[in-house]
């Protein structure tokens, strides 16, 4: 019973709002401003060190919002940078070969062996002349040949060492060193990313609507710290009776007015609920359909910055814009009195007047259904919803 009374009261209030002002082609309803808030939080855990914004501040995209304690990750970042430097030095050493000082040592040894070779060649020539004259011995000649061959081998060895010292390391060693450099750089990138996450920036321009944590608190990854509302995330929400639902489409432009708003505030319908926002617990009839309302959302086209979430607004919808003619409405207009005929003092379009004929209603509906409780009637004149349900149940039983 309480729910039924609340339902009738809601319908009466909505009917009064609709009847407050209107004309033949506009529907006036009351609504309110809503916002899709962005909750900004860190991706890493840490102690909140500094809050850089306050409630009500307007921030630009990329502006710093708050900062966490980053000393631990600063040390990890420094170690990663040192690891990259070490890996790159090892690779450079393999690519460049021996140091110049080491090459100088090998060069000096080579010159010494070349001198020994020259002396061995001279001694061999002298022993060969002595042997030809019969003054020398075969043994001395053999020793001279052996010394010359040893000197030649020593020279060839040092020349090979010198050439090797000037060449880079083996290909596989270089590939392994390059891989170590890549791993070190990847670790550095990860450390840099985690370090940067200790300062959180605004993803979009907007207004700070709430601060949820304060310096000294420990926040976890994903925990919201501030709430941000961009102007483009504001929207208008209002409810339209079921009988006007066919006159509203996505893309319809609305005229909006409110206290303190700009004079040229407009909006465009962006969403229409597929189901009724409020449904009485009775089987539908032509009378109960008047109590059905559908949620409609509209995005402001101008003046969105002046709107505040929860602010009441009045919305005027042009029922004739960009819609094809409705035969039911045309037949209804033909029955309305002409301009020369006498008309009631109040000609506003409201739900207190005759209801718009619904397509598909049986022609033999009883008088109670045709004159069912309307949204604009007084609470005392409205038929309780439970009585409707009881009457319908009795009819079904008789059937």
Range among 143-147, 191-195, 330-334, 380-384 rated most confident: 191-195
pLDDT score of 388? 46
Strand order from edge to edge, sheet including 46-51: 199-201, 64-68, 46-51, 218-219
Given this model, what pLDDT does residue 119 score?
Answer: 86
Average the pLDDT over 129-142 and give the result. Answer: 79
Residue 97 in any domain: the answer is yes
Residue 70 pLDDT > 50: yes
- Residue 188 shares a structural domain with residue 272: no
Instruction: CATH number of the domain at 324, please.
Output: 2.40.30.170
Q: Is residue 82 predicted with pLDDT exceeding 90?
A: yes
pLDDT of residue 8: 38
Q: How far is CA 322 from the centre of its chain?
A: 34
Same domain, 19 and 81: no
Residues 149-168 pLDDT 10s: 888 888 888 888 777 776 66
Residue 208, domain member (yes or no): yes
- For residues 120 and 167, state if they share a domain: yes
CB atoms inside a 10 Å sphere around CB 111: 11
Range ranked top by mean pLDDT from 105-109, 147-151, 207-211, 260-264: 207-211
The number of folded domains in the chain is: 3
When mean pLDDT is compared across 90-104, 150-164, 186-200, 239-253, the lowest value belongs to: 90-104
- CA proximity to 19, closest of 381, 358, 341, 347: 347
pLDDT at 3 over 90: no
Q: Model confidence over 308-317: pLDDT tens digits?
A: 888 899 888 7
Q: Please state, in angstroms and rounded to a whole number, the distance separating the CA atoms of residues 269 and 298.
A: 4
Assign 277 a pLDDT band (cuts: 50, 70, 90): low
State residue 47 phi and psi, 5-degree precision.
-90, 130
Residue 344 lies in a domain: no
Q: Has residue 161 been placed in a domain?
A: yes
Q: What is the mean pLDDT of the chain?
A: 74
CA end-to-end span of the chain, whole Å? 27
pTM for this model (two decimals): 0.54
Q: Are residues 312 and 282 in the same domain?
A: yes
Give Cα 177 to chain centroid, integer Å. 39
134-148, 181-195, 225-239: least confident range = 134-148
Which tokens go with 155?
């020279």
* Domain span holding position 57: 47-65+204-212
296, 326: one domain: yes
Task: Encode 75-100 in three state secondary structure.
Answer: HHHHHHHHHHHHHHHHHHHHHHCCCH
Give a yes or no: residue 348 inside a domain: no
Query: Of all helices (H) and strands (E), which one includes residue 206?
Result: strand 206-211
Collect all residues with Cβ–Cβ distance below 8 Å to 7 and sequence separation of at least 6.
Answer: 278, 280, 291, 385
Q: Which H or E run includes 58? A: strand 58-59
- Nearest-Å Rg of the Cα atoms of the chain is 47
* 255 plus 157 within the same structural domain: no
Whether residue 52 is predicted with pLDDT greater than 60 in this model: the reply is yes
Tens of pLDDT, residue by residue over 35-47, are 999 999 999 999 9
Task: Indicate whether 128 belongs to any domain.
Answer: yes
Which pLDDT value is given to residue 68? 96
Of 45-54, 123-132, 194-203, the poorest mean pLDDT is in 123-132
Q: What is the pLDDT of residue 24?
A: 59
Q: Is the pLDDT of residue 357 over 90?
A: no
pLDDT band per the 50, 70, 90 thresholds, residue 352: very low
Residue 28 pLDDT greater than 80, yes or no: yes
pLDDT of res. 63: 94
User: Does the pLDDT of residue 213 top 50, yes or no?
Assistant: yes
Whether 56 and 84 map to the same domain: the answer is no
Structure confidence at residue 274 (pLDDT):
87
Q: Of 23-32, 79-88, 193-202, 345-354, which gets the smallest average pLDDT? A: 345-354
| pLDDT score for 393 | 41
Of 79-83, 329-333, 348-352, least confident by mean pLDDT is 348-352
Residues 91 and 184 in one domain: yes
Residue 126 lies in a domain: yes
pLDDT band at 289 (very low <50, low <70, confident <90, very high): low
Residue 211 host element (H or E): strand 206-211
223 is a domain residue: no
Do residues 59 and 208 both lie within one domain? yes
Out of 91-95, 107-111, 229-233, 257-261, the most confident range is 229-233
% of the chain with per-residue pLDDT over 70: 68
User: Is 273 found in the same domain as 124?
Assistant: no
């Amino acid at each position: 019973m309480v729910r039924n009374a609340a339902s009738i009261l809601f319908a009466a209030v909505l009917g009064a709002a609709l009847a407050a002002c209107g004309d033949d082609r506009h529907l006036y309803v009351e609504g309110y401003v809503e916002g899709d808030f962005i909750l900004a939080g860190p991706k890493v855990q840490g102690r909140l060190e500094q809050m850089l914004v306050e409630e009500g501040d307007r921030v630009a995209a990329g502006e710093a919002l708050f900062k966490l304690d980053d000393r631990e990750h600063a040390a990890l970042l420094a170690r990663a940078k040192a690891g990259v430097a070490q890996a790159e030095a090892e690779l450079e050493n393999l690519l460049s070969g021996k140091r110049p000082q080491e090459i100088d040592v090998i060069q000096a040894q080579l010159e010494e062996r070349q001198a020994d070779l020259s002396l061995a060649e001279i001694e061999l020539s002298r022993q060969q002349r002595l042997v030809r004259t019969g003054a020398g011995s075969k043994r001395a000649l053999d020793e001279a040949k052996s010394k010359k061959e040893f000197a030649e081998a020593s020279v060839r060895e040092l020349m090979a060492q010198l050439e090797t010292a000037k060449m880079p390391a083996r290909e596989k060693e270089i590939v392994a060193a390059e891989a170590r450099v890549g791993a070190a750089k990847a670790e550095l990138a990860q450390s840099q990313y985690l370090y940067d996450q200790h300062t959180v920036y605004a993803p979009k321009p907007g207004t700070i609507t709430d601060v949820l944590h304060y310096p000294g608190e420990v926040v976890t990854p994903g925990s919201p710290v501030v709430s941000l509302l961009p102007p483009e995330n504001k929207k208008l929400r209002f409810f339209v009776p079921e009988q006007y639902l066919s006159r509203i489409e996505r893309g319809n432009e609305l005229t909006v007015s409110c206290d303190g708003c700009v004079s040229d505030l407009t909006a465009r319908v962006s969403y229409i609920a597929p189901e009724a926002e409020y449904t009485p617990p009775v089987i539908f009839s032509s009378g109960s359909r008047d109590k059905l309302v559908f949620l409609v959302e509209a995005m402001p086209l101008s003046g969105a910055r002046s709107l505040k979430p929860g602010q009441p607004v009045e919305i005027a919808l042009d029922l004739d814009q960009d819609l094809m003619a409705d035969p039911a409405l045309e037949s209804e207009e033909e029955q309305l009195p002409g301009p020369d005929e006498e008309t009631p003092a109040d000609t506003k379009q409201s739900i207190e007047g005759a209801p718009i004929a619904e397509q598909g209603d049986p022609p033999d509906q009883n008088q109670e259904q045709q004159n069912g409780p309307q949204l604009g009637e007084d609470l005392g004149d409205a038929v309780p919803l439970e009585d409707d349900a009881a009457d319908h149940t009795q009819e079904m039983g008789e059937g």
